[in-house]
Amino acid sequence: MNLTLVQAATAMGACGDIEPSAQGREITGVKTDSRAVGPGDLFVCLPGENFDGHNFASQAVDNGAIAVLADRPLPELHDRASVLLVTDTLTALGRLGAFWRSRTSAIVVAVTGSAGKTTTKEMLASILSEVGETAKNYKNFNNQLGVPMCMLGFSGTEKFWVLELGISHPHDMHELGDIVRPDCAVIGNIGPVHLEGLGNLDGVARCKTDLLDYTRRSGRAYVSMDYPELWAHATTRFPFTVGLSVQGRSERFHASYLGADRSGGRYALRLDDVEIELHLPYFGEYFAENMLAAAATAHDLGAGPEAIRRGLEKARLPEHRSACSVVGGWAVIDDTYNANPLSMERAVKCAADIAGETPLALVLGEMRELGPDAAELHRELGRTIAATGAKAVFFNGDHADALAAGLADGNWQGAFATAPSPENFPDAFAELGLSGGVVLFKGSRSTKMERYVQSLTDWLNGETRA
Is 137 within a domain? yes
Say yes or no: 201 and 82 in one domain.
Answer: no
User: Does the annotation list 455 as a binding residue?
Assistant: no
CA atoms of 340 and 419, how far apart (whole Å): 19
Q: Does 108 score more than 70 pLDDT?
A: yes
Residue 241 has pLDDT above 80, yes or no: yes
Reported as a single tens digit per residue, the pLDDT across 356-391 is 999 999 999 999 999 999 999 999 999 999 999 999
Q: Is 98 among the domain residues?
A: no
Contact 39, 67 (CB under 8 A): no
Per-residue model confidence as pLDDT tens digits over 168-218: 999 999 999 999 999 999 999 999 988 889 999 999 999 999 999 999 999
Is 99 a domain residue?
A: no
Is the pLDDT at 464 greater than 70, yes or no?
A: no
Q: What is the pTM of this model?
A: 0.91
400, pLDDT greater than 80: yes
CATH code, 52:
3.40.1390.10
Is 94 annotated as a binding-site member?
Answer: no
The domain boundary residue, chosen from 56, 89, 122 = 89
pLDDT of 222 strictly over 90: yes
Lowest mean pLDDT among 21-25, 218-222, 240-244, 354-358: 21-25
Q: Which residues of 425-446 are buried (b: 16+ CB within 10 A; e: fewer)?
A: bbebbeebebeebbbbbbbbee
Q: Of the candidates 390, 380, 378, which has an alpha carbon nearest to the alpha carbon of residue 414? A: 390
pLDDT band at 109 (very low <50, low <70, confident <90, very high): very high
Report residue 322's pLDDT band, with 50, 70 and 90 as the boundaries: confident
Residues 300 and 264 in one domain: yes
Please choose, from the candidates 351, 331, 347, the residue with its C-alpha nearest in 3D space to the C-alpha of residue 339.
347
| Percent of the chain with pLDDT strictly greater than 70 | 99
Last residue of a domain, one of 40, 58, 89: 89
Report the C-alpha gap between 342 and 229 in whole angstroms: 15
Same domain, 157 and 29: no
Total domains present in the chain: 3
User: Is 328 found in the same domain as 309?
Assistant: no
Distance CA 438, CA 436 (A): 7
Same domain for 309 and 161?
yes
Tell me whether residue 426 is in a domain: yes
pLDDT score of 466 more than 80: no
Q: Is residue 78 located within the same domain as residue 129? A: no
For residue 84, the surrounding DSSP H or E stretch is strand 82-85
Query: How buried is residue 25: exposed, middle or buried, by Cβ count under 10 Å (0-12/13-18/19+)?
Result: middle
Q: Given pLDDT bands bounded at 50, 70 and 90, which one contains residue 219?
A: very high
Q: Please say if the pLDDT value at position 39 is more than 90.
A: yes
Is residue 113 a known part of a binding site? Answer: yes
Burial 296-305 (b: 16+ CB within 10 A, else e): bbbbbbebee
- Are residues 156 and 268 both part of a single domain? yes
The verdict on whether residue 118 carries a ligand-binding annotation is yes
What does the alpha-carbon distance between residue 55 and residue 257 come to, in Å, rounded to a whole number? 53
CA atoms of 428 and 12, how far apart (whole Å): 56
Q: Is 116 annotated as a binding residue?
A: yes
Does 110 belong to an annotated binding site? Answer: no
CA pair distance 408, 288, nearest whole angstrom: 32
Do both 181 and 262 map to the same domain? yes
Which CATH number goes with the domain that contains 362? Answer: 3.90.190.20
Does residue 75 surpass a pLDDT of 70?
Answer: yes
CA distance 413 to 111: 41
Q: Tell me, what CATH number does 143's domain have?
A: 3.40.1190.10
Decide which of 64, 89, 114 is a domain's last residue.
Answer: 89
Q: Tell me: do 202 and 292 sit in the same domain.
A: yes
115 annotated as a binding-site residue: yes
Q: What is the pLDDT of residues 272-284, one digit of tens each?
A: 999 999 999 888 8
In a domain, 169, yes or no: yes
Distance (Å, rounded) from C-alpha 385 to C-alpha 398? Answer: 17
pLDDT given for residue 419 in this prediction: 93
What are the DSSP calls for 263-315, one per residue? TEEEEEEEETTEEEEEEES--SHHHHHHHHHHHHHHHHTT--HHHHHHHHHH-
pLDDT at 22 > cutoff 80 = no
Q: Quick one: which of 154, 163, 160 has its CA closest to 186?
A: 163
Rounded to whole angstroms, what are the CA distances from 445 to 50, 367, 369?
19, 9, 11
Say how far apart CA 168 and CA 16 lie, in whole Å. 34
> How do 253-261 and 264-271 pair as beta strands?
antiparallel
Q: What is the pLDDT of residue 440?
A: 98
Q: Which domain holds residue 359?
A: 323-465
Return the number of other C-beta atoms located less than 10 Å from residue 396's C-beta.
22
Higher pLDDT, 319 or 378: 378
HEC letters along 176-201: HHHHHCCCEEEECCCCCCCHHHHCCH
Can you tell me the mean pLDDT for 143-165? 98
Distance CA(26)–CA(40), nearest Å, equals: 7
Is residue 240 domain-resident?
yes
- Per-residue pLDDT tens over the stretch 409-435: 999 999 999 999 999 999 999 999 999
Considering the domain boundaries, does residue 401 fall inside one? Answer: yes
**CA 81 vs CA 5, 11, 59, 259, 308: distances in Å:** 12, 19, 12, 60, 48
**Does the structure show a pLDDT above 70 at 463?**
no
Q: Give yes or no: residues 66 and 116 share one domain.
A: no
Q: Look up residue 177 and give its amino acid.
A: G
Do 189 and 336 share a domain, yes or no?
Answer: no
Q: Does residue 45 share a domain with residue 138?
A: no
**29-33, 259-263, 357-361: segment of lowest average pLDDT:** 259-263
Q: What is the pLDDT of residue 276?
A: 98
